Structure 1
């Protein structure tokens, strides 16, 4: 999997990551969406940036707290008012 070793441990870090994805600063092409998921091999949670064809473009590990509490932020996106 294309998951980098950085771990997002706070909701603010998740927000900043989502802003980077949405703004295009990470240079990812054909982004279709973002989802929270768990690794099939060990159950570790991560945030997945998916292509329009639902392929993993980039993943970043997240803490259990972020996985449990960041679902709405991932589902509905972020804006500068959060």
Structure 2
């Protein structure tokens, strides 16, 4: 499920989102990972929260800048101390 009105447009917002997912602050179940991806129909980039079956649990659109520059943060995790 992706909310069209909720776009992550800065790396700081991406970091906050990753921390929320990591800490369980969004109330999601069976979260196994996150990934940056593109929508097959539109090509729009988004961040995907995936469950243990690699199914989309939650997605948020991201700007092209966040998609291009946030890959290491998604791969390695946010830098802030939790």
Instruction: Mark yes or no: TM-score above 0.5.
Output: yes
Question: Per-residue deviation at 1:78?
Answer: 1.1
Name structure 1 gaps, 5 residues minimum: none
Aligned residue pairs, count: 80
Alignment of 1:48-63 (within 5 A): 48-63=48-63
The equivalent residue for 2:19 is 19
Question: Per-residue deviation at 1:68?
Answer: 0.1
Question: Per-residue deviation at 1:41?
Answer: 0.6
Length-normalised TM-score, structure 1: 0.94
Question: Per-residue deviation at 1:16?
Answer: 0.3
CA RMSD between the two structures: 0.8
After the TM superposition, list the runs of 4 or more consecutive aligned residues in structure 1 that deviate by more than 2 angstroms: none
The equivalent residue for 1:35 is 35
Length-normalised TM-score, structure 2: 0.94
Name structure 2 gaps, 5 residues minimum: none
Q: Residues 44-71 of structure 1, C-alpha deviation per residue, up to 9 Å, x if partnerless?
A: 0000000010000000000000000000
Whole-Å separation in 1 of the counterparts to 2:3 and 2:74: 18
